[in-house]
Amino acid sequence: MSFQPALQAPAATPISQPLARAPHPLRPIMKLLSYIKQWKSAARETIARASIAAQFLSLIHITDAYICSTTLVQGPSMLPTLNYSGDVVLIEHLSHRLGKLEPGDIVVVRSPVDPKKIVAKRIVGMEGDRVTYLTEPSYSESSRTVLVPKGHVWIQGDNVYASADSRYFGAVPYGLIQGRAFLRIGI
């Protein structure tokens, strides 16, 4: 067995350059995880603040929709009670749910002709009442008497000469009433 000289030593790697390592296969994911860790605390605080804001907004909304709210009412149909160019009115939403509305109350009602519009008028007759009204107040004295059907109310504006109310679109179902105006804050 002849002694074979050692194979030529491999070329010495220069000491200053470290061996190149293969890139870790999961490196982008690990980067993402580290970013997420950094932002986790910020996200937690954001969620906490957002939930406080959401609770506050829902409290305001529940008060506004079910207890008391304010509206700007304008137009000529409730002169002289309400101003033509606008009045801020406080509306309470409890009476109509408890069934405590009476003739003479000013109510805020969703219009049966245009579902997006809300009008303020006065209740003249509840269900079962007989209501007499002037059909053409500007021109003649002729009047008509009508029986308010079950589940409906008859609303009229205080200014009968310029008011589109139940004389025009008939008795309004009680379910369309949104609230009762109880305080006027005149501008």
Partner 1 sequence: MWSIIREAFDKTLLVAKAYGILHITNSYLCTVALAYGPSMIPTINLTGDLILAERISPRIGKVGVGDIVIVRSPVVPRRVVTKRVVGMEGDQVTYLLDPHNSDEVHSIVVVPRGHVWIQGDNIYNSKDSRDFGPVPYALVEAKLLWRSFVRGASIPVCKFACDWSSGMCGRLKILVQCNTYQDRRGK
Q: Does 128 bind partner 1 (CB under 8 A)?
A: no
Of 145, 148, 149, 122, give the one whose Cα is nearest residue 132. Answer: 145
Q: Does 114 bind partner 1 (CB under 8 A)?
A: yes
Is residue 121 part of the annotated active site? The answer reads yes
**Based on CB atoms, which residue is closest to partner 1, 87 or 154?**
154
**Based on CB atoms, which residue is closest to partner 1, 47 or 62?**
62
Stretch of 4-12, 84-92, 166-174, 179-187 contacting partner 1, by CB under 8 A: 166-174
Q: Does 121 bind partner 1 (CB under 8 A)?
A: no
Amino acid in the structure at residue 138: S
Q: What is the CA radius of gyration of the chain?
A: 38
Retrieve residue 126's tokens.
């509840």
Chain residues 34-63 in contact with partner 1, contact rule CB under 8 A: 55, 58-59, 61-62
Closest distance of CB 126 from partner 1, Å: 11
Is residue 77 part of the annotated active site? The answer reads yes
DSSP 28-92: HHHHHHHHHHHHHHHHHHHHHHHHHHHHHHHHHHHHHHHTEEEEEE-SSTTTTTS-TT-EEEEEE
CA 154, CA 172: separation in Å to the nearest integer?
6
Q: Which of 76, 103, 112, 137 binds partner 1 (CB under 8 A)?
A: 112
Closest distance of CB 34 from partner 1, Å: 35
Query: Which residue among 2, 111, 121, 150 is the active-site one?
Result: 121
Give the β-pairing of 177-186 and 68-73.
Answer: unpaired
The catalytic residues are 77, 121
Residues that bind partner 1 (CB under 8 A): 55, 58-59, 61-62, 110-115, 149-152, 172-176
